[in-house]
Structure 1
């Protein structure tokens, strides 16, 4: 991304091109570098793998997940090098880099060497099964095609993508690279998906910047360790520009319905644009990239429409809303609410936060921190520093955390927490809460959830607790009972005068059911999924009776134990392209998952989820993770490495096919 996102880094005597480096400036730069990717970069630069033995022998290695929560007094946080090792790596880097032209001696290492480097880079055991995933997700290699490519896509093999957010953009890139004709329909007036909606004050990604991006488009120039909404939107637009996708994207054009023609083996897709013009399109395959959280969840509060001031939902933010000097009431306490509160606290005259159900909140020191200039220089100029930095960002936010939401029945029988690992998260959050409000037991009580950590999304604090300590801020453990022209009446009998009401109440959950989708035999997806109440899919992507329809961000595909939506996007788009190529290679017109396979897969999903806090919450909880009957419909039960592996290519035995002539086709074995 260095050709699309400029880095403005002022570092004295350092040549921006990286040709010559002044020692005094370099010393300051290295002080801001992470020693682990710095060491890996030195190995690439010199080709000297003995550096791994020299410094790796001084590290203590652990199994993934053993350092989460509150470490013992003598333990370092996961992946952090001892100070003496870090100092010696920086000293060696100063020696090697001074006067160097930064010519790379070692390019992408072979898998065995890569595994050894990953072990030192993380100071953890890295099992062989993770190596292919890490090489791809760290940006060393692009996703490898698995289905043999001998038949190029014909010109009339048109694919329609619905949505131009992170997944739709990814699908467009990968379809284009694979040679497929495609069109992306986006109902909004700009590209970016959720980041065109979430423009409220303080809007930011709660996944690390250097990981929450495409593995094939690393960005060394993030200004913050967790990107703001506008910066992430700019990243997506830069990717679109680089890959020249605009000509394939039709903005302000909503897909209204889709009907499968068994006779023609084609989808008839109906769109309506902003002017009201209706068009019919024929597509061999359709990829829904709508995500699962699309419509603002507006609470049904009596009198809300009588309020004399401004009412605004965070998902429908109006740039004209001015909270300066105003009395503001915020409803909600999830990720969005805490960002809004921390962002506007210095502007308002009074701020009341109404909390029905608090979340577990944990400290994250880098949430609001800018990336130092030296770190940004290294990310852009040192060989493979960016890739190793990303690998570490992914590693410590992914399957390291897999055990945290899982229930240990023996432990849970005598503890509020679900397991020893889950208890570390609980104690960490409880300690942070106590330390934040040492003289406010009332706030501690109001902010303490009555369910296990991970039963709802863990929130990283961007300054919410600090805002609640301000004199003009009040917290109410209640909900809205009714709204009158001059304020809010809560369910605890309080009246809060207000000029502005901010609804930070999130989204309604839907999996493509807002579109009228009719598959084989006239069955509607909305009916099959009971209006979205009980969605079930094979691998979170395919539904029996809806051939050549691929629902990304589908049910039970979200990596809720860690990482981010970006990896799910890449896994699922890769799988879709492999499926489409499989059709071409075998002269099939369509593929459809067998009903019994779909049922068997979901039985396995439910069995695995029955071992998690998403099902056994430990207390009453209202979470979008679950439907009204308590079934977990959002989380994926597998490790990220498991899901990545199962999405490499289609399993033909799980499918039925129709040949290019319209007749049922035998499975190629």
Structure 2
């Protein structure tokens, strides 16, 4: 049994296997530590935008989260704790990047090729790479000519001293919303280059008082109550996102009130007012972003960047902005699932070739023509309203059923029927057309052709119900397996 990645998905999968008594597990991790995006994103102010009681494993509650929305370091420490407690560290091979995998149809195994050229054979392959694992660099002419410091927010250079520097930040997404308020007081001048304004709502974050933490520790039911109250509060938001988009009008009023209170200057406020319908792009949470961008040393630049020069940036109006450093808050290549790995299935079929028009998978987990390959946080399983950890646990339960079939000798391989995949994705795309995400905006949810390959168009409990049982009829029939061990 082989897992690629050691974030929430990979660790959760490994823990589930260990609980089932399966010991032959290998987790390949390209870095030298576990944690996925919570290992990579160490920029100032990095934190979750889902409350901690919900953004954690259901089987491993943590009573001493310091805040309602946990910071990056605390989430990473939680993942390390889980890996240690459930004894999965010994299964992780660090500094082992997977370059590709090829399915051997005769032996019903995957040959997993590492970047160093070695090959690992496995019966079952699970990709837990996530959707936000590859930083996206903008295609701006001259970017390679810049002679100052330049880095992506997901690869923050903590050795570089930003104090009293002239800094350009490109992008106003979820990461920039968090790090801009942290660095604005330190730099001499900050120019925030914005392609499109984001909808920003206040973040109801606060540190937990000591008495509350003591109560959570002494009465575990209180934390369970907090988790389920948070879950259903957030789940109700799916109605506006996926069923009745006109209800987003109430959320838009909250946004406009927050913007009006935070930004007094009418010109700046106009620059920070989105033109897209609210919810079409990711809604961001911050209670200090507007305070930061209204500082005297911060300028919001809405003119498009024409080129980058050795000493700065030039916008379309001809203005030259000289800076010492450029920080890229330009997000991730979210629609390039499993890239840059080369995955080859039956009949020499390449996964990325099959996904040329956009990634798709049955329930976001299985892909026709790629037997015994399972995806965690795969196509159309992202959310706009709740916790991805809830979705991952649904997927892990589904994959465990598949593992049970394969290890129990019932089948040699599991390959989802092409028509099953086609029909389930037709339903997903039809439902997406009725959501707030299908309102004509361009976001990281969509491919260049405009197809939404990332979001689940419904309730998370509906997804859990859809994945509660692996249906044998959804898969191609196979003769009984000759081997019973899953490796």
Which consecutive residues of structure 1, in runs of 5 or more, have no partner in the other structure?
1-158, 409-417, 664-669
Please tell me whether residue 656 in structure 1 is matched to residue 476 in structure 2: yes
Aligned pair partner of 1:270 in 107, 113, 135: 113
Q: State whether residues 203 and 286 of structure 2, in contact with CA within 8 Å, keep that contact through their aligned partners in structure 1.
A: yes
- RMSD, aligned CA: 1.6
Q: State whether residues 406 and 422 of structure 1, in contact with CA within 8 Å, keep that contact through their aligned partners in structure 2.
A: no
Give the Cα–Cα distance (whole angstroms) in 1 for the partners of residues 263 and 414 of structure 2: 58
Cross-structure match for 1:591: 414
Cross-structure match for 2:241: 405
Aligned pair partner of 1:190 in 29, 33, 43: 33
Give the Cα–Cα distance (whole angstroms) in 1 for the partners of residues 398 and 383 of structure 2: 17
Aligned pair partner of 1:313 in 147, 152, 167: 152
Deviation at 1:346, TM superposition (A): 1.5
Give the Cα–Cα distance (whole angstroms) in 2 for the partners of residues 483 and 631 of structure 1: 31
Give the Cα–Cα distance (whole angstroms) in 2 for the partners of residues 569 and 236 of structure 1: 14
Superposition pairs of residues 429-448 of structure 1, within 5 angstroms: 429-438=255-264, 440-448=265-273
- Number of residue pairs aligned between Structure 1 and Structure 2: 481
Cross-structure match for 1:489: 314
Change (3 A) 1:376 1:478: farther
Please tell me whether residue 373 in structure 1 is matched to residue 210 in structure 2: yes
Q: State whether residues 36 and 133 of structure 2, in contact with CA within 8 Å, keep that contact through their aligned partners in structure 1.
A: no
Superposition pairs of residues 542-561 of structure 1, within 5 angstroms: 542-560=366-384
Deviation at 1:364, TM superposition (A): 1.9
Deviation at 1:661, TM superposition (A): 4.9
Q: State whether residues 442 and 450 of structure 2, in contact with CA within 8 Å, keep that contact through their aligned partners in structure 1.
A: no
- Superposed CA offset, 1:591-610 (max 9, x none): 11111111111111111111
Please tell me whether residue 640 in structure 1 is matched to residue 465 in structure 2: no
Please tell me whether residue 233 in structure 1 is matched to residue 108 in structure 2: no
Deviation at 1:222, TM superposition (A): 1.0
Tell which has more relative contact order, 1 or 2 (C-alpha 8 A, sep 6+).
2
- Superposed CA offset, 1:339-395 (max 9, x none): 1111111111111111011111111231xx222111111111124111111112222
Q: State whether residues 162 and 288 of structure 1, in contact with CA within 8 Å, keep that contact through their aligned partners in structure 2.
A: yes
Change (3 A) 1:661 1:396: closer
Give the Cα–Cα distance (whole angstroms) in 1 for the partners of residues 482 and 424 of structure 2: 28
**Which has the greater radius of gyration?**
1
Deviation at 1:472, TM superposition (A): 1.1
Q: State whether residues 615 and 630 of structure 1, in contact with CA within 8 Å, keep that contact through their aligned partners in structure 2.
A: no
DSSP 3-state at the match of 1:657: coil
Superposition pairs of residues 186-335 of structure 1, within 5 angstroms: 186-272=29-115, 276=116, 278-335=117-174
Superposition pairs of residues 561-640 of structure 1, within 5 angstroms: 562-585=385-408, 587-617=410-440, 621-640=441-460
Please tell me whether residue 171 in structure 1 is matched to residue 13 in structure 2: yes
Q: State whether residues 410 and 480 of structure 2, in contact with CA within 8 Å, keep that contact through their aligned partners in structure 1.
A: yes
TM-score w.r.t. structure 1 length? 0.70
- Superposed CA offset, 1:447-503 (max 9, x none): 111111111000001411011121111111133222223222122333222111111
Give the Cα–Cα distance (whole angstroms) in 2 for the partners of residues 341 and 500 of structure 1: 14
- Superposed CA offset, 1:587-630 (max 9, x none): 2111111111111111111111110121124xxx3211111222
Q: State whether residues 267 and 284 of structure 1, in contact with CA within 8 Å, keep that contact through their aligned partners in structure 2.
A: yes
Cross-structure match for 1:155: none
Give the Cα–Cα distance (whole angstroms) in 2 for the partners of residues 524 and 306 of structure 1: 36
Deviation at 1:586, TM superposition (A): 5.5
DSSP 3-state at the match of 1:481: strand
Deviation at 1:306, TM superposition (A): 2.6
DSSP 3-state at the match of 1:224: coil
- Superposed CA offset, 1:96-155 (max 9, x none): xxxxxxxxxxxxxxxxxxxxxxxxxxxxxxxxxxxxxxxxxxxxxxxxxxxxxxxxxxxx
Superposition pairs of residues 150-169 of structure 1, within 5 angstroms: 159-169=1-11
Change (3 A) 1:660 1:271: farther
